Structure 1
Amino acid sequence: MKKLFSLILLVCGLMPATHAQIRLAEFWQSGMVIQRDQPVHVWGSGTPAQRVRVRLADNEVQTTVLPDSTWSVTLPARRASAAPLKLLVQTDSARLELDDLLVGDVWVCAGQSNMAFPVLAERHAAQTLREAPNPLLRLYDRIPGAFRYNEPFKAHEAPYLEPARYFRPGQWQVADSASVRRFSAVCYYAGRAVQESVGVPVGLIHMAVGGSPAEAWMRAEGAVADALLQSLFTGDWFANKTLEPWCIQRGHENLDSLLRAGYPLPRGPYGIHHPYEPGLLYEAGVLPLSRLPVKGIMWYQGESNALSEQRAQQHEALFPALINQWRRAWNRPELPFYFCQLSSISTEKGYKSDYWPLFRDGQRRLAGTMPNVGMAVTSDVGHPTDVHPTDKKSVGDRLARAMLIQTYKKPLLAAPVPVRVRRRAGGWELHLANAGEGLQTADGQEVRGFALGDATGPHTELSAQLRGKTVHLTGRGNGQFLYYGWQPYTTANIVNSERLPLSTFKLPLP
């Protein structure tokens, strides 16, 4: 019976009390970080009509459990504090107490496998895991209940395909050598850098799913206004030709053996449930979490949306819609959203990265047009044959820098960005913002990466010289566009004085 009771709690995603009549939502646990400067939302379940008293430090509110067995309260916003607080939840017959609650900033980390990539496999892991624990950095890992790459799911994993059960409830932990090992490396390094710079407690909630496409993290509502996106949420997802064939293939690899065995699998409006199904991860991950006040989002995803020209172009409408949906879910139109640009990988081993330059450029343009959206350039820390490059510390630190500049208003130098191109005698002059004390090359070699081209892509390489904050370009040939770093695996090498790299780009020539 004890095992059965534990399973019931796992399925419900709720924390046990001293009596079964009162429970707290999954994210409310001892050791958590409460979002500062926002009303504190606490919720859970209990016996209908039961009176519930909730006390956090010197604030207390009361409510009544609704007929559907849910309850929720809102307490006043609190300022950041590293002094541990207690939360007390009481009814006439039950009492639940949480301790060691800090108040600071909570960041949600999501995406696919490069966000899920753990610290233990990261290039700097040996040094990182030797470092002292940070009691002001707290980690919460939401682990998928059903996830395998190209292997069949087991029968005992099938029930986790229900969206309400897909993520297993985690546990808030202090960041130390044990808790950090399997936690997202990008999320951890970015969160650590923010915590150390800002000085307030930071909570990190990770819920990435390897291989997941962007549309799995969305819902049909809000996408249907765009015909290009509406087609993603139509009919059986296994037969939907506007989706990524690789994702559908993975679905078959995971589910076909269970289907042949006649095993009953959960289904929804788009067919059999799977983590790559449009909308499933939004329902499983975003909706439950959106009740918790947070500071913002960190995102590393795109590989599963960049394997064809059609998908790369589709993403330019898809990703802004995703950001706006998440902002509506949290009811915060200006919710900060920071993402990692796709890195670099060549096609020589058969990886379909031909359209990664197009995808990276779309990400660059988006970061410059949406408010409270920032990007970490990562094309220089890729790998020619590995879609999971191991230097995640550089990625996390750059993501944190964007967050510190835009959200925390720190006077730091951002990555260089192209501003305009001017024609000059014998060539062109490219002006960059955020050059700092002057442009340089990352490896001390001659400038690489520039080319002339037309709408189909680059065709003529250009020579380039760095002169302070500008690039002087020369070469023979004609073209309508200036390209930079326009290869799946790029060796383009311009950085600013803080050694932050220039992004892949395509600009019209005057």
Structure 2
Amino acid sequence: MYTKRFLLAILLLALTIGVNANVKLPRIFSSNMVLQQGIDIPVWGWADSGEEISVMLTKTVVRMNENTNEGEKLTIMTASAKAIADESGKWIVKLPAQEYGGPFTLRIKGKNTITFDNVMIGEVWVCSGQSNMEWPLINAKNGENEVAAANYPNIRLFTVSKRVSQFPQEDLTDGEWVECTPETARLFSAVGYFFGRSLLEELDVPIGLIHTSWGGTVAETWTSPETIKNDPDFREPMVELQQMDVEAYKKEKEAKVRKLLGGELPTEDKGMQNGKALWSDPDMNDSDWSKIKAPGLWEEQGYLDIDGIAWYRKELDLIEEQTQTNLNLHLGKIDDADITFINGIEIGKTNAYDEERVYTIDKKYLKPGKNMIVVRVNDTGGGGGIWGDPKDQYVAIGQEKIDISGDWKFKISKAVVQAIDLGPNSYPTLLFNGMINPIVPYGIKGAIWYQGESNADRAKQYQRIFPNMIKDWRTHWNQGDFPFLFVQLANYMKPTQKPAESAWAELREAQTLTLDLSNTGMASAIDIGEANDIHPRNKQDVGERLALNAFKVAYNKDIVYTGPTYESVEFKDGKAYITFTNTGDGLAVKDKYGYVKAFAIAGADKVFHWAKAEIINPTTVVVQSYAVKDPVAVRFGWADNPDDLNLYNLEELPANPFRTDDWPGITK
């Protein structure tokens, strides 16, 4: 006779089997995705150990009946493959290479069936780096018009959420593929978007863009543990990271947060249910909510160690006259993302921690008396909340300003307690673990990369870690030496009056040296930077120059894809004769008098002087200075901001900064 305990065990076993039986795929797979053309397509996931998995790629076509002139829909199998889940439940198949086209349906069948629709076969590129890659389209030059025109259903976008991780993760926390529309492109990487648009216009095939970047990050955090463990500068920090007792630390922090929040640790946002913003209701009872000062990060007001989602509510009292015109709501800055409501109506949203929020409130949403401003804030890491200067937080009614800084009602609806309070640069490998490993080995054509600002003070080291990172990614993807294209740092900071050493110039040199790796390309931004802003708004030229590199490196087009590049120097009769490659139809100077600028020359004393330079034939520039009788070294564009650089090829691509000497620099 079965005992109750035995029956309970049988029931629990059955429930466990039921939970584990479902086939699951990584989040990088979804409807609207692009699968890479011309390669065996990896599809992988998890299931029960020993479970057989069938993967099918199908296409629906319409066959016309000649007699009735009516269409009949037929489903055609274009590719299929099977796999058996291993002991750990993992499985992977590779579908045979496909030609461009779509839409297709991808169906994965085990004990359950998963179906992804509107799937295209095209060109897939990973877009990664730091803030200049993260920079959203809306904030690019002419951003509003660019967003309005971003209607390209054959460009598909995927954004990887920011995440640090102690160890390599197998899956992302969220994310899905979407078609490129003004709404979906608005906050997408501007560089990635302009690159993809150029590819679409030239190739006329579906384009998939996977955006995975984080502002202010260093290259070593994007590199895997397998590579970092062999680096003399980062081996010890990586070992320290991996030996941390994360779970014990997390439990201790969770206990503190529970106490802070009255015993509760909310894991789901109760304010937003099934897409409805319940806590934006102006009439809801918020009498039990706390008060918080805004602007001011919530960590600064006692809510330590909490990331996640919080809601802010503020009453706005208006008289009849004030409701007869549209208002402008100035919230200041919000870390990281917000959705803002007035009287329960969404009026704007932004995903950028350092951008001023200014939203227009249509007068039709206003009423005399009490109006309710509600802000839902999503903090993904670090500081969280409404922040900035109190003078930037007000409602503008014509020339009148109503101050809304000060006390707001406040409630945390979802608390995320990180295991360790880590920033993305706290240790190496953190972003590879959390934001790259989960998308490997998704089939790609290549990667574009805009990063280096955060490594500039260690430019000499970058000569090693950057190419090692590229080789590391190629090893993990196991797709050979796929194209890896990167942006050389833009000109930035105050120009110098005399030739000087420069960490940024050394970083650019490290990037140039990385071109020794096969299938790499570099897009110069040396002429489109801004002295007072590390984020130049001209992302159009950056994306288009990356695309030129792609056409040459990835698609073998016979084009001029980069600017004049230093090849050799000959010193003769007190002059330096510089020979360039990549001159296209010839060297050109953007100066009506023909003066070539940004050159400096030095003798054996290693003291550089500005030099006179001129083009003497389509590939050669001669450089001299009356202050240097016997020159031994030449530098071009060697500065944080060589703002007068004006040497190009006739295809209007700028010459690449360089030096002919190998004298010790200023970086480690």
TM-based fold match above 0.5: yes
Q: Which has the higher strand share?
A: 2
What is the CA-CA distance between 1:182 and the residue it aligns to? 0.5
Match of 1:387 in 2: 534
2:197 to 192, 196, 213: 192
Q: Within 5 Å, give how 1:80-95 maps onto structure 2.
A: 80-81=100-101, 83-92=102-111, 94-95=112-113
Q: Is the 8 A contact 2:600 2:608 kept in 1?
A: yes
Match of 1:101 in 2: 119
Q: Distance in 2 between matches of 1:454 and 1:169?
A: 58
What is the CA-CA distance between 1:197 and the residue it aligns to? 1.1
Match of 1:319 in 2: 466
- Identical-pair percentage: 30
Q: Distance in 1 between matches of 2:467 and 2:507?
A: 14
AA in 2 matched with 1:221:
E
User: Is residue 495 of structure 1 aligned with residue 648 of structure 2?
Assistant: yes
1:374 to 508, 517, 521: 521
CA distance 1:480–1:474, change in 2 (3 Å):
closer
Q: Describe the SS at the equivalent of 1:144.
A: coil
- For the pair shown, the structure with the greater C-alpha radius of gyration is 2
Q: Within 5 Å, give how 1:273-284 maps onto structure 2.
A: 273-276=422-425, 277-284=427-434
Q: Describe the SS at the equivalent of 1:227.
A: coil
Q: Is the 8 A contact 1:458 1:483 kept in 2?
A: no
What is the CA-CA distance between 1:468 and the residue it aligns to? 3.4
Consecutive unaligned residues in structure 2, runs of 5 or more:
1-18, 59-76, 243-298, 307-415, 663-668
Q: Describe the SS at the equivalent of 2:527.
A: helix
Match of 1:408 in 2: 555
CA distance 1:331–1:408, change in 2 (3 Å):
same
Q: Distance in 1 between matches of 2:605 and 2:50?
A: 66
Q: Which has the higher helix share?
A: 1
Task: Please list the CA deviations of residues 123-157 of structure 1 after superposition, one character each: whole Å capped at 9, or x if unmatched.
Answer: 032332232622221111112158xxxxxxxxxxx
Q: Distance in 1 between matches of 2:603 and 2:172?
A: 46
Q: Is the 8 A contact 2:614 2:622 kept in 1?
A: yes
Q: Describe the SS at the equivalent of 1:381.
A: coil
What is the CA-CA distance between 1:347 and the residue it aligns to? 5.0
What is the CA-CA distance between 1:344 and the residue it aligns to? 1.5
Q: Within 5 Å, give how 1:327-476 maps onto structure 2.
A: 327-346=474-493, 354-367=502-515, 369-414=516-561, 415-442=563-590, 444=592, 446-453=595-602, 459-469=608-618, 470-476=620-626
AA in 2 matched with 1:138:
R
Q: Distance in 2 between matches of 1:305 and 1:136?
A: 36
AA in 1 matched with 2:423:
H
Q: Is the 8 A contact 2:171 2:438 kept in 1?
A: no
Q: Distance in 1 between matches of 2:189 and 2:448?
A: 11
Q: Distance in 1 between matches of 2:226 and 2:481?
A: 19
What is the CA-CA distance between 1:465 and the residue it aligns to? 1.1
Consecutive unaligned residues in structure 1, runs of 5 or more:
1-17, 147-159, 238-251
Q: Is the 8 A contact 1:437 1:468 kept in 2?
A: no
Q: Distance in 1 between matches of 2:154 and 2:231?
A: 43
Q: Distance in 2 between matches of 1:344 and 1:480?
A: 26
Structure 1 vs Structure 2 CA RMSD? 3.1
What is the CA-CA distance between 1:302 and the residue it aligns to? 0.6
TM-score with structure 1 length normalisation? 0.81
Q: Distance in 1 between matches of 2:491 and 2:554?
A: 28
Q: Distance in 2 between matches of 1:440 and 1:374?
A: 22
Q: Is the 8 A contact 2:130 2:217 kept in 1?
A: yes
Number of equivalences: 448
Q: Is the 8 A contact 1:48 1:69 kept in 2?
A: yes
Task: Please list the CA deviations of residues 74-107 of structure 1 after superposition, one character each: whole Å capped at 9, or x if unmatched.
Answer: 22111222x2111122234x22221111111110
Q: Describe the SS at the equivalent of 2:546.
A: helix
Match of 1:221 in 2: 226
CA distance 1:219–1:455, change in 2 (3 Å):
farther
Q: Is the 8 A contact 1:34 1:106 kept in 2?
A: yes
AA in 1 matched with 2:180:
A
Match of 2:35 in 1: 34
Q: Describe the SS at the equivalent of 1:23.
A: coil
CA distance 1:167–1:456, change in 2 (3 Å):
farther
Task: Please list the CA deviations of residues 202-222 of structure 1 after superposition, one character each: whole Å capped at 9, or x if unmatched.
Answer: 100000011111010113423
